Structure 1
Amino acid sequence: MSRHFFLALAFAASSLLTAGSASAQMRPMSDSEMSTVSGQGLFTVSNSSYNGFDFMRVGLDADVTLNANLANLRLGEYNYGPRNGSGADIDISALRFGRSDGGEAARLVQITNPYFEFVYRNTGTAGQREVVGMRLGFDGIAGDIGMKIATLSGAMRIDGGAAGVVDTQLDPGGGKRWDGTCSGCDLKLSQVGAVTAGDAAGPSRDFWISVLKTPVSFQAAPGMPALTEAQAGIWLNWRDKLSALTTNGLVPLNNPPGR
């Protein structure tokens, strides 16, 4: 459990830290100066309960623009035989937030309110709870994301238009360590080299990755359909407003600015 947790934490840190950095020098302020300043905390903390579990969410109450290239992400490896030969819950050889072949506007991915959410449940002993796991997510994500996925454990739907749809609900195994192929799948996961998150109506609103030791049902955001129950191990959820940008398996370039 701990190794899985830190792998997911490393993924989150790698993504957010590449968004940029800032520095400031602190100085004292007088009472009159303080009276003219208004603001809010950078982090928000909230608690909730749902289906027998308790949740504590720590959110970064901010909008983030992100350009990042990640490679060879293998999360949730197991010793027993996998369904498809990968041996990992999530096996992504390339994950690129933004693209450099579509103009300056396509270079950045917009992320709204990143958050960590910790999951607890009662142990049956008065006053004692155990940690079940956590998830990392975004309230909104919009932009072009290049990706090459060999294995996916999760609930994902990608609209490929005339090429078909990638949907874990078509998988007889329920989306656990899925290689993106099935008898009813017109479009295979290996054919998708990039996706566009969000549309003219707004961003994609259900991206998160969980690290769990038991299945958990998370509560959907207001106005969203019920979420598929997240399974033990690493689980990725992403179904809202997700369309294929390429269906030839090619991942768009994402060179650093100036190249």
Structure 2
Amino acid sequence: MKGLLASLLAPLLALMLLPGAANAQMRALSDTELSTVSGQGLFTVGNSSYNGFDFTRISLDADVTLNANLANMRLGEYNYAPRNGTGADLDIGALQFGRTDGTAAQRLVQITNPYFEFVYKNTGVNNQREMVGMRLGFDGISGDVGMKIATLSGSMRIDAGAGGIIDSMNDAGGGKRWDGTCAGCTPLSSVGGVTAGDANGPSRDFWISILKTPVQFQAGSGMPALTEAQAGIWLNWRDKLTALNLTGTVPVNNATGH
């Protein structure tokens, strides 16, 4: 997969398209039988407005367990010399959901309610709207995620323990095309992965956006205000992230997927 968004979406689509292990013949139900049946749709659609933008969210109303290895992802490349990093909004050499060098529980990452959200803005002409972008995110993510990030455009915060707090928003460029270094902090390249979530629950603010203009997304219930997402590719991930190590070593993941 060349694109990070496509790579993240592919395992989720595969789960929905897998055939069932058993076949059943359809039959009509009486009104009495139907009255005792309840169900829930696989997808939910919701509309909202915030800070001058309209949003349409399509959610996969499900919990997903994921084990996947993604590599060599570059998004938002620029022809001019970068302020920092390699000239891309996101340059990620490795992103691993789950690991095989730990316990059985560490092999899988738990993802709650994946979603797409499309962003619109009124043009001011005949009450027409234009799409300004979209984002892909998860309501919750728990587990070990290995990573090697050369350049990051986004708002990321990692608790590195003795290494202090690694925060892209402390960079002079406000997180845009950050190369992972900052005065007096542990460089992002020293982190080989993160544990998402803790005893209080999952990490709740992972999303990646593609935008033509900066957008302020609304924070979830009980969450602090989000950093305004900038134009281009933007990654947001700050809630309950703890560094796995400060040696830059990505955990082993030999599994092919789940």
TM-score normalized by the length of structure 2? 0.92
1:85 & 1:208 partners in 2: Cα distance? Answer: 21
Whole-angstrom CA distance in 2 between matches of 1:19 and 1:71: 21
Matches within 5 A, 1:45-84: 45-84=45-84
Q: How far is 1:18 from its partner?
A: 6.2
Query: Which amino acid letter does the alignment assign opposite residue 169 of structure 2?
Result: Q
Aligned-residue offset at 1:80: 1.3
- 1:22 maps to 18
| Native 8 Å contact 2:85 2:150 kept in 1 | no
Structure 2 distance, partners of 1:97, 1:80, is 33
Counterpart Cα distance in 1 of 2:173 and 2:148: 21
| DSSP-derived class of the 2:169 partner | helix
Residue equivalent to 1:3: none
Shift of 1:44: 0.6
Match of 2:7 among 11, 14, 33: 11
The percentage of aligned residue pairs carrying the same residue is 71
TM-fit CA distance, 1:103: 1.3
**Unmatched 5+ stretches in structure 1:** 1-5
The question of 1:205 aligning with 2:181 is answered no
The 8 Å contact of residues 85 and 151 in structure 2, kept in 1 or not, is answered as no
Greater alpha carbon shift after TM alignment, 223-232 vs 19-28 = 19-28
Is contact 2:69–2:94 with CA below 8 Å preserved after alignment?
Answer: yes
Q: Map residues 49-198 of structure 1 onto 2, 5 A cutoff.
A: 49-185=49-185, 187-198=186-197
Q: Are the equivalent residues in 1 in contact too, given 2:98–2:108 (CA < 8 A)?
A: yes
Contact (CA 8 Å) 1:100, 1:254: kept in 2 or not? Answer: yes
In structure 2, distance between residues paired with 1:248 and 1:174: 26
CA distance in 2, matches of 1:95, 1:234: 17
Give the TM-score of the pair, scaled to structure 1.
0.92
CA contact (8 A) 1:46 1:57 kept: yes
Aligned residues: 252
How do 1:23-42 and structure 2 match up within 5 A?
A: 23-24=19-20, 25=23, 27-31=26-30, 32-42=32-42
Letter in 2 for 1:109: V
How far residue 66 of structure 1 moved from its aligned partner, in angstroms, is 0.4
CA distance, structure 2, for counterparts of residue 37 and residue 128 of structure 1? 42
Q: 1:110 to 1:169 in 2, by over 3 A?
A: same
**Amino acid of the residue matched to residue 253 of structure 1?**
V
Secondary structure in structure 1 of the residue aligned to 2:127? coil
Instruction: Return the alpha-carbon distance in structure 2 between the equivalents of residues 203 and 104 of structure 1.
Output: 18
Gaps of 5+ in 2: none
- Give the conservation status (yes or no) of the 8 Å contact 2:160–2:242: yes
Alpha-carbon shift at residue 10 of structure 1 (Å): 1.2
The CA distance in 1 between the partners of 2:80 and 2:162, in whole Å, is 38
Whole-angstrom CA distance in 1 between matches of 2:11 and 2:192: 19
Offset, 1:112 = 0.4
Distance, in Å, in 2 between the alignment partners of 1:131 and 1:60 is 22
**Residue 169 of structure 1: how far off its partner (Å):** 1.7
- Cα distance in structure 2, aligned partners of 1:9 and 1:242: 21
Q: Which amino acid aligns with 2:201?
A: G
Moved more, 77-86 or 125-134: 77-86
2: CA distance, partners of 1:166 / 1:198: 17
1:239 aligns with 2:238: yes
Q: Segments of 4+ in structure 1 off by > 4 A?
A: 17-21
1:21 positional shift: 5.7
